[in-house]
Amino acid sequence: MEELFLGIDLGTSAMKLVLMDRKKTIRAQITEEYEAAQPRCGWSEIDPELWYECMERGLGRILEHGAGRQIRAIGVTGQMHTLIVLGEDEKPVRPAMMWNDIRTRDLIPELKQKMAEFPEGAYLSKTVSTGSPAANLYWLKKNEPEHFAAIRKFLIGPDYLVFRLTGRAGTDYCEASTSCLYEICGRRWSEPMRKLLGLPREAYPPVQGSALAAGTIRKELAEKFAIPAGTPVLTGTGDNPATAISTGCMGRGYPVISLGTSGVFMMPVEKPGDEARGKTILFSFDDRAYFYLVQGAVQSNGSTLEWWVRSILETDDFSVVDQTVDPKTAWKGSVLFYPHLVGDKTLYADPNLRGGFFGLSTETDRAGMLYAVIEGLCFSFRELAEKMKLPLEKFGSVKVVGGGAKSRVWMQTMANVLNIRIEQMDGMIGPACGIALLAACRCGGMDSPEQMAEGLVRTRAVFEPDPDAAAACEEKYRKYLRIHEGLAYIMDGIRPGQPEAESGR
């Protein structure tokens, strides 16, 4: 009987399930959609049981023809940072607080100051931001003390589905190391942070390698979906490391841009660096070998384009980008767009940052504004790469994956703005595929990250920078970089060079 491996990706607005065989062929894939609630401005939360119901529905669909009997291992990945808190009955105490929830923005300065006061807190204080598990737990302590007191265990993102599949609570090094609750170099939960929050040690999930088994599938689920009893469920990992596995980024060390709801620039590094922007992800397959992956985010990436296409252009057809914009001439336009519509975490750590158009005239048309949106997003990735100190020229190209990578206009604009070759990746790559590969690795046959990606990563198209367009983008980028200070002055009265504290911001 053919062996199959199940990958489950818990996304922000949808769950993807894939079945992969040992030849790395995707035999089936399905998507289940859901929607987070926004009970107040800046809040984003969801009942974790909705995820579980979607997973059960998805399992019923993808295994409907008896494929369950062929499952040999299950891997789960998904959105990083999202916080789930469980009570004494092992049920969620309250809705999950999503990674893009910004309710903690007014508490971040206070939390940063407290974290910086203990020796191990310097790095944590630099990386904590809205949506971080540390920030959300701090918010719960101050604003929902009854829920905070009821916490018996916290989990992060896909950990909840692993818990429901196996009955065992745990997490991996990725989710722990990006929580701002964990000491990366010491590979342990931060004791000063634990004391600051006031959580008992028992509330922290055990941490282990992503390819190790968290447990085996619960008996009732095995029987319901005809999955062999004792099928292992992996500890799993966050969506960015899973994507890094499927693209070869993790094994071969090259930079990758993922264009999803948020945009992510990621690349493996030899050791954590304190001088560059971005978060360092600690990763291990087996609790023996450890890797570091640095990532930076453009918080409002796909969501920015979605806003423009659906809310402004009033269409659900995202092909309007390639149908409307001519990348051979669009770069001649002078309109600039600042894309940080819902704040920023990596570049400025400012949840109150917002966007805008600059240089509008009576000659500006719909195509020009649409191009400016795409170009502005590309400028944000260039700024991200520079502040993360990524040596892009060392590799000569950047690989791009995700929904936005399907657009030839976006890819050509990215090539012009970064002034480097862009490789538009093809094939089944992404978090669900990456975690299915890890499940296959768990069962033998693939010993390394290089082997996992081998034969899977394909280049669909290559986009070379146009010299004239690249020169024009270089000039516009210098203007783009001045927008941040200009906005700070317009919105908050902060003059260039003036410390924020003096302005009362």
Q: Is the fold of 4-235 the same as that of 302-388+398-419+464-493?
A: yes
Report the candidate in 107, 79, 87 with the shortest Cα–Cα distance to residue 236.
Answer: 79
CA end-to-end span of the chain, whole Å?
A: 64
Range 120-128 average pLDDT: 86
Report the candidate in 82, 84, 80, 81 with the shortest Cα–Cα distance to residue 95.
Answer: 84
| Model confidence at 446: pLDDT above 60 | no
Give the amino acid at 503: S
What pLDDT score was predicted for residue 502?
42
Q: 337 Cβ partners below 8 Å, 6+ apart? A: 355, 356, 357, 358, 369, 372, 373, 375, 376
What pLDDT score was predicted for residue 275?
62
C-alpha distances in angstroms, 446 versus 139, 438, 441, 452? 43, 9, 5, 6
Range 453-466 average pLDDT: 84
Q: Where are the domains of the chain?
A: 4-235, 302-388+398-419+464-493
Q: What tens digit of pLDDT does each residue of 297-312 get? A: 898 899 999 999 999 9
Compute φ and ψ for 86, nearest 5 degrees.
Answer: -110, 145
Tell me which residue has tokens 């309109």: 335
Report the candidate in 169, 165, 161 with the shortest Cα–Cα distance to residue 221.
Answer: 165
Give the amino acid at 414: M
Query: Are residues 463 and 421 in contact, defined by beta-carbon separation less than 8 angstroms?
Result: yes
Query: Are residues 281 and 178 in contact, defined by beta-carbon separation less than 8 angstroms?
Result: yes
Give the amino acid at 164: R
Q: Which residue has the higher pLDDT, 258 or 143?
A: 143
Tell me which residue has tokens 């659900």: 316
Q: Rank 212-216, 247-251, 385-389, 430-434 by mean pLDDT and report only the highest.
A: 212-216
pLDDT-wise least confident of 109-123, 148-162, 186-200, 450-464: 450-464
| Model confidence at 477: pLDDT above 90 | yes
Q: How far apart are CA 327 and CA 364, in angstroms?
A: 16
Rg (CA), the chain: 22
DSSP helix/strand/coil, 21 = strand
Exposure string over 134-143, b if 16+ CB within 10 A, otherwise e: bbbbbbbbee
Q: How far apart are CA 204 and CA 181, in angstroms?
A: 10
Query: Are residues 377 and 298 in contact, defined by beta-carbon separation less than 8 angstroms?
Result: yes
| Model confidence at 380: pLDDT above 60 | yes
Q: What tens digit of pLDDT does each residue of 51-90 get? A: 999 999 999 999 988 899 999 999 999 999 999 999 999 9
When the pLDDT of each residue in the chain is averaged and rounded to a whole number, the result is 91
| Model confidence at 287: pLDDT above 70 | yes
Q: Strand ranges (DSSP E) for 22-161?
A: 26-33, 45-46, 71-78, 83-86, 96-97, 153-156
pLDDT-wise least confident of 5-9, 287-291, 450-454, 479-483: 450-454
| Model confidence at 504: pLDDT above 50 | no
Is beta strand 397-401 parallel, antiparallel or unpaired with respect to 421-426? parallel
Q: What tens digit of pLDDT does each residue of 34-47 get? A: 999 999 998 999 99
What pLDDT score was predicted for residue 24?
87
Q: 310 Cβ partners below 8 Å, 6+ apart? A: 316
Range 89-101 average pLDDT: 96
| Model confidence at 227: pLDDT above 90 | yes
pTM of the model: 0.86
| Model confidence at 494: pLDDT above 90 | no
- CATH of segment(s) 302-388+398-419+464-493: 3.30.420.40
Q: What angle do CA 54, 38, 126 make, to 5 degrees?
A: 100
Range 249-260 average pLDDT: 86
Residue 434: is it exposed, middle or buried by C-beta count within 10 angstroms (0-12/13-18/19+)?
buried
Report the candidate in 156, 161, 149 with the shortest Cα–Cα distance to residue 131.
Answer: 156
What pLDDT score was predicted for residue 115?
95
Give the amino acid at 144: E
Continuous segment of H or E residues that includes residue 393: helix 392-395
- Classified by CATH at the fold level, domain 4-235 comes out as Nucleotidyltransferase; domain 5 (3.30.420)
Is beta strand 45-46 parallel, antiparallel or unpaired with respect to 26-33? unpaired
State the DSSP code for 447: -
Banded pLDDT at 426 (limits 50, 70, 90): confident
| Model confidence at 16: pLDDT above 90 | yes
Length reported for the chain: 505
Range 279-290 average pLDDT: 90
Report the candidate in 75, 89, 85 with the shortest Cα–Cα distance to residue 47.
Answer: 85
Q: Which residues on neighbouring strands pair with residue 7, listed in sequence order?
A: 18, 75
Q: What tens digit of pLDDT does each residue of 129-155 get? A: 999 999 999 999 999 999 999 999 999
DSSP helix/strand/coil, 475 = helix
